[in-house]
Amino acid sequence: MREIVLDTETTGLDPLRGDRLVEIGCVEMINRMPTGQTFHVYLNPERDMPQEAFAVHGLSSEFLADKPLFAAVADDFLTFIGDAPLVIHNASFDIGFINAELTKVSRAAIPRDRLVDTLTLARRKHPGVSNRLDDLCSRYAIDNSRRTKHGALLDAELLAEVYIDLIGARQSQLILSETRQSFSTGQTDAPRRQREVPLAPRITEADVAAHTAFVATLGGTPVWNEFSKET
């Protein structure tokens, strides 16, 4: 199943009062795993940047002045999201801005039945506490140290990790063995799913040769030889 985790940054809180999109970030997930495919763009809002908004995301009018208008990227954006469900934190906010921009360029609005609102999911799972993205990252031990300011792509990447925990899909993620044994009970869990399409290897032939040469200097029967028999 394909899903798109999405976040935006804007000039303010209300598109009906002239506020505009200034950044869109999207992360593709297949079967609840990020694929590495993303869509990211900064946008010229054709207006000034209020100080309150600048304090949140740090995107100035000067920085955005040479960035494309939404009309120039609308087709690429729609192609990337396709007909996949959109996973968004506080979805009504982001989709309100996106649909306002789509209306300006004579494109169909995105229906709300495509939205998966992680804020709603979080409030159901953790009632009575704050469920901001930072709070959820802390709750699920997700490293958000890079998030010194809001940024659409970074926030979408963090939200993708949060979403996996919110829906209880963390146990479905890739691990190194087919089964996992609990240290506390000794019980063996059911096998976790593997990626349907393995990621391309990043180790080059030169890396393999260098490692083989290093192992040869260890003498005796280094443990690496046991691993090499399995590959």
Query: What does the pLDDT read at residue 229?
Result: 53
Whether residue 131 is predicted with pLDDT greater than 80 in this model: the reply is: yes
Whether residue 22 is predicted with pLDDT greater than 50 in this model: the reply is: yes
**7 a known binding residue?**
yes
Buried b (16+ CB within 10 A) or exposed e, 127-161: eeeebebeebbebeebebeeeeebbbbbbbbbbbb
Rounded Cα distance between 77 and 39, Å, is 7
**9 a known binding residue?**
yes
Whether residue 168 is predicted with pLDDT greater than 60 in this model: the reply is: yes
* pLDDT, tens digit, 9 for 90 and up, residues 82-112: 999 999 999 999 999 999 999 999 999 999 9
pTM above 0.85, yes or no: no
Domain boundaries, the chain: 2-167
Query: Strand pairing partners for 4?
Result: 28, 86
Task: Please identify every residue annotated as catalytic.
Answer: 150
3-state helix, strand, coil in the chain (%, to 5): 40, 15, 45
Contact 35, 48 (CB under 8 A): no
Calculate mean pLDDT across residues 193-221: 70
Calculate mean pLDDT across residues 217-227: 66
Query: Strand pairing partners for 181?
Result: 188
* pLDDT, tens digit, 9 for 90 and up, residues 175-201: 444 444 443 444 444 444 455 566 667
**46 a known binding residue?**
no
Query: What does the pLDDT read at residue 223?
Result: 61
**126 a known binding residue?**
no
Fold of 2-167: Nucleotidyltransferase; domain 5 (3.30.420)
Lowest mean pLDDT among 49-53, 167-171, 199-203: 199-203
Query: What does the pLDDT read at residue 182?
Result: 41
